Structure 1
């Protein structure tokens, strides 16, 4: 369950940025997580309370923007949605593709006080 280490990394980022801003706590944290990032959203929700206990994020509202996977076929230049890394182009069936979106895992914004 690597979601706990990911949540703890998010806490570390939030604590660092809160300290830089001279604030004491976070009211809201906005995350961007791609469907291809390898994150189980249910697992992240399960470990979140443990990871944020006694931190600046303990009382924060967590908002997650889910970024759908998108790729461009390297053979026929088609843009298409990707649910799994091994999905092939729906037009020409090629497996050669460039992943354009969906691998994101970032703290988008913090509302601090």
Structure 2
């Protein structure tokens, strides 16, 4: 399950940063995840309790900032929302585009004590 490895990676980042800060645990973790990042939010919710058990994140509040996919058309410069990488420009129908937002998968902030 891909989301389990994502969750375990988040735990590793939190543990490393907690050690650097000489803290004991995390009270809040803020994540930024794009809709094009390939993460199924329901699956992440399902594996989260198992991934954080007996870690610095076990009792931490989790906030997720979901970033909608945005692209800019290479032909007409229109900026438009995308649900999938293969979506066409909503203005001219071109398939040539640059992804501006939506691929994010990062730990945005940690509150530690």
What TM-score do you get using the length of structure 2 for normalisation? 0.99
Number of corresponding residues: 113
> In structure 1, what is the equivalent of residue 5 of structure 2?
5
**Structure 1: where are the runs of 5+ without partners?**
none
Q: Note the C-alpha offset of 1:97.
A: 0.2
Answer yes or no: is 1:19 the counterpart of 2:54: no
Extract unaligned runs of 5+ from structure 2. none
Instruction: Describe the superposition over 1:13-71 as per-residue Cα deviations: whole angstroms up to 9, x where unpaired.
Output: 00000000010000000000000000000000000000000000000000000000000
Alpha-carbon distance in 2 for matches of 1:2, 1:12: 16
Partner residue, 2:65: 65
CA offset at residue 73 of structure 1? 0.1
Cα RMSD, aligned residues only: 0.4
Residue 99 (structure 1) shift? 0.1
Moved over 3 A (4+): none
1:41 matched to 2:41? The reply is: yes
Instruction: For residue 46 of structure 2, give the secondary structure of its aligned residue in structure 1.
Output: helix
Give the whole-Å Cα distance in 2 for the aligned partners of 1:28 and 1:12.
15
* Deviations, residues 69-92 of structure 1 (Å, cap 9, x unaligned): 000000010000011111000111
- 1:98 counterpart = 2:94: no
